[in-house]
Chain A
Amino acid sequence: MDFVQNFPFFSILLSLFSGPLSSVLNAKWAKRVNAAVITVIGCMSAAVLVYVTGTGQEYVYMMGHFPAPWGNEIRVGILEALMALFFCVIMLLSMIGGSRERELELEESKQNLYYIMVNLLLCSLLALVYTNDLFTAYVFVEINTISACGLIMIKQNGRTMEASVRYMIMSLLGSGLLLLGICFLYDLTGHLLMSNIKEQVQLLALSGNYHIPLIVSLGLMSVGLAIKSALYPFHTWLPDAYGYSTLSSAAILSSLVSKGYIFLLIKIFYRVIGFEIVRESKVIHVLFVFGIIGMIMGSVSAIREDNIRRMIAFSSVAQIGYIYMGFGLGTAEGVIASIYHVISHSASKSLLFVAASGLTDASGESLRYRDLTGAGYRNGLAGVAFTVGSLSMVGMPIFSGFISKLLFAQAAIGHTYKMLLTLIALAISTVLNAVYFMRTVIRIYTPVPEGFLIENAQTVTVRQQPSKSAALVCFILLNLFLGLNSEPIIGLIQRGLEMFD
C-alpha cells in the first residue's frame, strides 16, 4: 500500500483534530492553525488526485481492522479527490477574503469558536465526500448542519439568529427524512456500506421484492437532501442567512455547504441505489420539475431584490435549480453537467460575495442598490471581479458559467420529452440572470451624477485591503481557468463518474 493512500484519512483526522485544538488557542493562533490545516489538506488532496489519476483505479481504505461489511470504510476515486481539492481551495480563498470582516464583526472572545466551526465543517465535507458508509454520512451531515448554523449565527444580530432558526428547522426536517430513508434501506438490505447495499439492491430489483419500500426510501433520501440543499420551495432561510451573516460565512455557505449535500445525493444515486433504478423511478421527475421552477423563481426574486447580498443569495436558489434539473434529466451527461456546475457555481458565487463586499466597503457599508452607483470606480479590483462573476453567472464564453450552460444544453438535446422544456427554461433563466446581474454591473460603472452624494462613500485602494484583494485576484484566475481549461476537468469528472459504478 502506497503512503499517498493514507492522505484522505489524514485529512479527515487532521481537520477533526484541529477543531478541539482551536478551542484551547486564542483567536490569532486559531486563525493560523485553520489556514495551515486547509492548506495542508489541499496539498494532500492534490497529491491524492494525481495518484488516483495515475493509477486509474479507485481504492477503499479500511477504517479499522475489519474488512468490508463489518467495519467502516472510506473510498477514494478521481471525483472524490477532485471535490476535496476544490472544496479546500474555495474555503481557503473565502477565509482569506473575509478575514477583515471577521475581525470587525465578531466578538473578540468568540473568534476562536468561529475557527472551530470552520475546521469541523471542512472535516464533515471531506467525510461526506470520501465516506463509503451511509450511516457515517448521516453523522457527518449533522456535524455539517450544526457547524453551518454556527457560522450563520455567530454575528449575533436579530436577522442572523432568525435566519439560523429557520435554517435549523428546514435542516432538521431534511435530516429526519434522510435518517428514515437510511433506516428503510437498512431494513431491506441489512447493510450500511454503500457497495454492499448496492449489491443487495440490484438483487432486489431483479427479483422485484420490496419494490415500494425501495422507491419510498429513495424518495425520502432525495427529498431530505433536496430540502437541506435549499431546492426552490425550501429556500426561505437562504436569503437572510447568506445576506446578513459575516462575509466568509456567506461565501462558504453558498459555495460549499449545500454542495456537500448534493455530492452525497450523487453518491446515493450512483453508489447506493444504482442509476438505472433511479432513472426508472419517478423521483427524478420530481427533482426535475422543482429544479426548473427554482431556476425561474429564484431569478425572479433576485430581480425584485434591492439589497445586493440578498440578490446574490437568490441567484443561488436559481443555480441550485440548475443542478437538480441536471439530475432530473436522468442521463450521465446531465449528471456531469450538474457536477461541473457545482464547481463553476461555487467558484463564481464566492467570488461574487467577496466582490460585493468590496463594493459595499467603497459605498459606506450600504448594501442598497442605489448607493452602489459608481462603486466600480471607487474600488477598481472589486468592480472588475464583480463583472467577471456576473459574466460567469450569465454564461459568457471564456468564463466558467458558459461551459456549464453548454453542458446542460448538450445533455438535454436528444432527450425525448424533457429537451424542449429544459432548453426553454435555460433560455429564460439566462435572460433573467442577465437582467439582474448586468443591471448591477451597469450601476456600479455609472459615474456618480453631480449633486448626488452617497453617505460615507470613499475610495478603497488595493493596499487598504490586501487579503481581500489577493482573494479576489485568485478567484478571478480560478474562474478564467475553469472557463478556458474546462476539457481536462470534464474529463476527470467523466472518469470519476465511471468509477462510481
Chain B
Amino acid sequence: MNLENLLNNYGEAVAMILFGIGFTNLLLQKNLIKKIIGLNIMDTATYLFLALKGYIDGRKAPVVTDGVQSVEAYINPIPSGLVLTGIVVSVSVTALMLALTIRLYRRYHTLDLDEISTLLKKEGK
C-alpha cells in the first residue's frame, strides 16, 4: 500500500470505506429498509468517488463565464455528467425496491427477508 498517496487521496479513501459500509449493509441487513439505505450509501459513495475524479484544485464549475474557454479555467465536465446519469439510475432502483418492500410488507407484515422466506415455506406454495 502506498500510504503517502492514500493520505493524499483521502477523499477517495473515504468513498471506498463508505462503499464497503453500503455493500455490507445491502448484503447483511435482514431488514429490507436498511438494505435499501445500504444501497443508497453504496451508490452515493460511488458518486463521491466519481466527482473527485473530475475535481481540479482552484478551478470553476464547467459553465462558460465571460467567454473564457481555456482548459485551465474549468474542472473536467465528464464525471459530472456521469454522476447525473448515476443518480437517475439509483432513484429508479430505489423506487422499485421500496415498492417491492411495500407489497411484501402488506402481505406478510414483516420487513425481515428471512422471515418472509419462512412464511412462504409454511404457505407451501
Q: When A and B assemble into the complex, do they touch directly, with CB atoms less than 8 Å apart?
A: yes
A165 in complex: contacting residue of B22, B89, B104, CB < 8 Å: B104
Cα distance A71–B96 in the bound complex, in angstroms: 31
Cα distance A187–B76 in the bound complex, in angstroms: 12
A162 in complex: contacting residue of B50, B78, B79, B104, CB < 8 Å: B104
Distance in Å from the Cβ of B106 to the closest Cβ of chain A? 10
B100 in complex: contacting residue of A157, A168, A180, CB < 8 Å: A168
User: Which B residues touch A164, using CB under 8 A?
Assistant: 100
**A168 and B97 within 8 A (CB):** yes
**B23 and A146 within 8 A (CB):** no
Cα distance A486–B86 in the bound complex, in angstroms: 42
B82 at the interface (CB under 8 A from A): yes
**B46 and A158 within 8 A (CB):** no
**A146 and B46 within 8 A (CB):** no
**Across the two chains, which residue of chain A brings its CB closest to B53?**
A187
Contact with B along A157-201 (1 / 0, CB 8 A): 111011011101100110010011001001100001000000000
User: Which B residues touch A156, using CB under 8 A?
Assistant: 103
**B46 and A142 within 8 A (CB):** no
Cα distance A179–B103 in the bound complex, in angstroms: 29
A139 at the interface (CB under 8 A from B): yes
Distance in Å from the Cβ of B8 to the closest Cβ of chain A? 14
**A135 and B125 within 8 A (CB):** no
Residues of A123-143 at the interface with B, using a CB-CB cut-off of 8 Å, are: 135, 139, 142
* Given A179-B46, A183-B49, A172:B125 Cβ within 8 A: no
A176 in complex: contacting residue of B32, B46, B116, B119, CB < 8 Å: B46
A81 at the interface (CB under 8 A from B): no
User: Which A residues touch B46, using CB under 8 A?
Assistant: 176, 179-180, 183
User: Which A residues touch B120, using CB under 8 A?
Assistant: 158-159, 162
Query: Residues of A within 8 Å of B, CB-based: how many?
Result: 27
B42 at the interface (CB under 8 A from A): yes
User: Which B residues touch A180, using CB under 8 A?
Assistant: 19, 46, 49
**Across the two chains, which residue of chain A brings its CB closest to B52?**
A187
* Given A183-B50, A186-B53, A173:B23 Cβ within 8 A: yes
Interface of A is mostly: helix
B85 in complex: contacting residue of A139, A162, A166, CB < 8 Å: A139
User: Which A residues touch B23, using CB under 8 A?
Assistant: 173, 176
* Given A139-B89, A173-B23, A183:B125 Cβ within 8 A: no
A153 at the interface (CB under 8 A from B): yes
B27 at the interface (CB under 8 A from A): yes
**A142 and B93 within 8 A (CB):** yes
**B93 and A162 within 8 A (CB):** no
B109 at the interface (CB under 8 A from A): no
B32 in complex: contacting residue of A158, A159, A165, A173, CB < 8 Å: A165
Distance in Å from the Cβ of A227 to the closest Cβ of chain B? 11
**B27 and A168 within 8 A (CB):** no
User: Which B residues touch A176, using CB under 8 A?
Assistant: 19, 22-23, 26, 39, 42-43, 46
Distance in Å from the Cβ of B65 to the closest Cβ of chain A? 23
Distance in Å from the Cβ of A282 to the closest Cβ of chain B? 18
Distance in Å from the Cβ of A450 to the closest Cβ of chain B? 30
Cα distance A159–B119 in the bound complex, in angstroms: 10
B69 at the interface (CB under 8 A from A): no
B63 at the interface (CB under 8 A from A): no
For A156, A165, A186, the residue with the greatest tally of chain B CB atoms inside 10 Å of its CB is A165
Cα distance A12–B50 in the bound complex, in angstroms: 28
Contact with A along B81-93 (1 / 0, CB 8 A): 0100110010011
User: Which B residues touch A149, using CB under 8 A?
Assistant: 96
User: Which B residues touch A166, using CB under 8 A?
Assistant: 113
* Given A157-B125, A176-B42, A165:B113 Cβ within 8 A: yes
In order of increasing CB-CB distance, the 10 nearest A-B pairs are A142-B89, A176-B42, A165-B100, A158-B120, A187-B53, A183-B50, A179-B46, A172-B39, A162-B116, A183-B49
The residues of A with any CB-CB pair to B shorter than 8 Å are: 135, 139, 142, 145-146, 149, 153, 156-159, 161-162, 164-166, 168-169, 172-173, 176, 179-180, 183, 186-187, 192
The residues of B with any CB-CB pair to A shorter than 8 Å are: 19, 22-23, 26-27, 32, 35, 39, 42-43, 46, 49-50, 53, 78-79, 82, 85-86, 89, 92-93, 96-97, 100-101, 103-104, 107-108, 113, 116-117, 119-120, 123, 125
